[in-house]
Amino acid sequence: MAVTEVFVTSARHQMAVVRAHPLFLVLGILQPLALLLVMFFARNRPIGAQATAIATAVLLMSYWGATVWQGAGILRRERSNGTLGASMRGVRSPVLVLAGKSLGATLLPALLTAATVATTLALLRTPVTIAAPGWYLLGLVSAILSGTAMGLLLCSLFLLTRFGPQLASALLYPVFLLAGLLIPPDFLPPAVRWLGWFVSLRWAQQFLVSAAGGAPDLGSLGLVGILTCGYIIGGVAAFRRIDHLVRSRGNLELG
């Protein structure tokens, strides 16, 4: 079985798992809808470039929610279903399988979020302008890949605790605050602003907004790529650590 086939099969399998639980409806419909209503009706109605920036930020925020709630829990779910052992001891590379599952876990909520944002904007009769759609699409794909890499990292860490849901909820708002998605970094104290540099969503947002404006900021796209590579390295190292605890030390149960 080719590498691509293993990856795609794992992603499709995880998409089926995601579809079976209504949490993806929360992540893909309720969360972006509520955020859009707040952003459009709490004060003055945003228009033009501002509306595009808000729609992009809501897309990325919901995607981060999907990464934390769906991607990060993959291995814990496998352990509770009793399939973790088979995944880790299979013929195919477990990292490859996990990467495919991580993508599959977040793809469906991401697509649903995009549909929700588009429908809401249409209902609100708020047009958004994307001057460089090709670059914008590339930015979205890079954000999805970055989230996949982050999911790879988080799901190994979440295997070490039985309090995954609480940990997941604690990871949401630091990123919402630091990534400068709806809140510009200038509104944060200078002492904590630098923490946002390590959040790829911040650079993804900058790139997407610049692409929507017609002048893609390729430096930001490059930073998304560098941080994604960092997440992948961290994710593989974390997974190897889990593997070591299971196979060599024997102090982590598979199910």
Residue bearing tokens 């149960």: 253
Task: Say if residues 83 and 52 touch (Cβ distance below 8 Å).
Answer: no
Stretch that binds another protein, among 133-141, 149-157, 171-179, 221-229 (CB under 8 A): 171-179
| Tokens coding 90 | 């299979």
Please choose, from the candidates 63, 219, 74, the residue with its C-alpha nearest in 3D space to the C-alpha of residue 144: 63
| Residue 158 interacts with another protein (CB under 8 A): yes or no | no
Residue 111 is a binding residue for another protein (CB under 8 A): no
Asked if residue 95 lies in contact with residue 243, where contact means CB atoms within 8 angstroms, the answer is no
Does position 19 interact with another protein (CB under 8 A)? The reply is no
Q: Are the beta carbons of 60 and 204 closer than 8 angstroms?
A: yes
- In this chain, which stretch among 16-24, 83-91, 92-100, 216-224 interacts with another protein, using CB under 8 A? 16-24
Among 8, 9, 12, 23, binds another protein (CB under 8 A): 23
Please classify residue 127 by burial: count the beta carbons closer than 10 Å to its beta carbon, then call 0-12 exposed, 13-18 middle and 19+ buried: exposed
Note whether 248 binds another protein by CB under 8 A.
Answer: no
- The tokens of 33 are what? 């809808």
Interface pick for another protein out of 150, 152, 153, 177 (rule CB under 8 A): 177
- Give the interface segment with another protein, choosing from 36-44, 135-143, 225-233, 239-247 (CB under 8 A): 36-44
Contact with another protein (CB under 8 A) among 21, 89, 244, 247: 21
Q: Say whether residue 30 binds another protein (CB under 8 A).
A: yes
- Which of 48, 174, 219, 222 touches another protein by CB under 8 A? 174
Compute the least distance from the CB of residue 64 to another protein, in Å.
13
Residues, the chain, total? 255
Indicate the DSSP class of residue 247.
I
Backbone angles phi, psi at 63, to 5 degrees: -65, -40
Contact flags string 179-208 toward another protein, x per CB under 8 A: ---xxx--xx--------------------
